[in-house]
Chain A
Amino acid sequence: MTTLLETGLASTKLRSAKTTMRDGHNRPIVVVTGMGVITSLGEGKTENWAKLTAGESGIGTIRRFSTHGLKTRIAGTIDFVEVKPFSSTTLAERLADIVIEEAVGQSGIGRKGDFPGPLFLGLAPVEVEWPQREEIARASGEAGCIDYDILLRTSGGGRFTQVHARYMFGSVADHLCETFGTKGSPISVSTACASGATAIQLGVEAIRREETDAALCVATDGSVNAEAMVRFSLLSALSTHNDDPRSASKPFSKNRQGFVMAEGAGALVLESLEAAQSRGAEILGVIVGCGEIADTFHRTRPKPDGVPIADCIRNALADASMTFDQIDYINAHGTSTPENDKMEYLGAAAVFGDHARKIPVSSNKSMIGHTLSAAGIIEAVFTLLTLEHQRIPPTINYDVPDPAIPFDVVPNTARDARVATGMSNSFGFGGQNVSLIIRREPG
Chain B
Amino acid sequence: MSQLPAGRRETWITGIGLVSSLGDGLEANWDALCSGRVNIDLEKYAPWMIHPLAPVNLDSQIPKKSDQRQMEAWQRIGTYAAGLALDSAGIKDDKEILALTDMIVAAGGGERDLDVDAAILTARADARSGALNERLMNDLRPTLFLAQLSNLLAGNISIVHGVSGSSRTFMGEEAAGVDAVRIAWAKIASGQSEVALVGAAHNGERKEMLMLYECGGFNLKKDFASVWSRNGGGFALGSGGVFLVFESRPHAERRGAKPFARLVNVVSGHSSRAAPGGVESNLGGLWASLGVTENATAIYTAATGAAVATGEEAAFLSAHGDVPVRAVGTSFGHLSEAQFPLALALASLSVSRGALVPPNDTSGRETEIDVMPAQIVAVSVGHWRGEGMALIEAVS
Contacts and interface: CB of A to CB of B under 8 A. Distances in A.
Say whether A associates with B.
yes
Interface of A: 65-71, 123, 125-128, 130-131, 133-134, 136-137, 144-149, 151-152, 155-158, 160-161, 163-165, 167-170, 173-174, 177-178, 184-192, 198, 202, 205-206, 208-211, 226-227, 230-235, 292-300, 308, 428-432
Contacts of A292: 166-167
Contact of B212 (A69, A128, A177, A232): A128
Interface string B120-135: 0110001111111110
Contacts of A174: 270, 385
Contacts of B126: 130, 134
Contacts of A144: 122
Given A170-B171, A297-B159, A431-B159, A188 B140 contact: no
Nearest to B210: A152
B179 to A, nearest CB: 5
A296 B133 contact: no
B167 A191 contact: yes
B23 to A, nearest CB: 28
B172 A173 contact: yes
Interface stretch (B34-42, B186-194, B291-299, B364-372): B186-194
A202 B48 contact: no
B133 A70 contact: yes
A135 to B, nearest CB: 11
B152 A170 contact: no
B215 interface: yes
Contact of B384 (A146, A152, A168): A168
A280 to B, nearest CB: 28
B228 interface: no
B276 interface: no
A164 B212 contact: yes
Interface residues of B, number: 84
B170 A188 contact: yes
Given A161-B215, A230-B136, A429-B146, A170 B269 contact: no
A164 B151 CA distance: 22
Contacts of A68: 129-130, 133-134
Contact of B183 (A187, A226, A308): A187
Contacts of B28: none
12 contacts: A134-B126, A148-B207, A164-B218, A169-B171, A190-B107, A231-B140, A235-B146, A293-B166, A294-B163, A294-B164, A295-B164, A431-B167
A294 B149 contact: no
Contacts of A299: 70, 146, 152, 155-156, 159
Interface in B144-189: 144-146, 148-152, 154-156, 158-159, 162-173, 175-176, 178-179, 182-183, 186-187
A106 B126 CA distance: 43
A158 B109 contact: no
A70 B149 CA distance: 21
Residue from B148, B158, B178 having most chain A Cβ neighbours under 10 A: B158
Given A226-B136, A429-B152, A170 B127 contact: no
A125 B148 contact: yes
A429 B151 contact: yes
B183 A202 contact: yes
Residue from B7, B145, B178, B269 having most chain A Cβ neighbours under 10 A: B145
A409 B217 CA distance: 54
Interface of B: 7, 48, 70, 103, 107-109, 112, 114, 117-118, 121-122, 126-134, 136-137, 140-142, 144-146, 148-152, 154-156, 158-159, 162-173, 175-176, 178-179, 182-183, 186-187, 190, 192, 207-208, 210-219, 268-270, 272, 382, 384-388
A313 to B, nearest CB: 14
A300 B127 contact: no
Given A156-B214, A190-B169, A231 B145 contact: yes
A164 B213 contact: yes
Given A68-B134, A230-B137, A234-B145, A131 B127 contact: yes
A152 B164 contact: no
A125 B149 contact: yes
A187 B172 contact: yes
A294 B127 contact: no
Contact of B164 (A125, A147, A155, A296): A296
B117 A188 contact: no
Contacts of A137: 121
List 5 A-B pairs, minimum CB-CB distance, nearest first.
Answer: A68-B130, A430-B155, A164-B216, A170-B172, A294-B167
B122 A151 contact: no
Contacts of B133: 66-70, 226, 230
A65 B127 contact: yes
Given A170-B384, A205-B192, A294 B171 contact: no
A133 B117 contact: yes
Nearest to A134: B126
A234 B150 contact: no
A137 B293 CA distance: 53
A373 to B, nearest CB: 10
A123 B110 CA distance: 16
A340 to B, nearest CB: 16
A133 B125 CA distance: 12
Given A149-B207, A161-B215, A235 B142 contact: yes
Nearest to B273: A174
B68 to A, nearest CB: 13
A355 to B, nearest CB: 26
Contacts of A152: 48, 207, 210-211, 214
A321 B36 CA distance: 56
A292 B99 CA distance: 12
A146 B122 contact: yes
B145 A66 contact: no
Nearest to B48: A152
Given A190-B150, A191-B151, A145 B212 contact: no
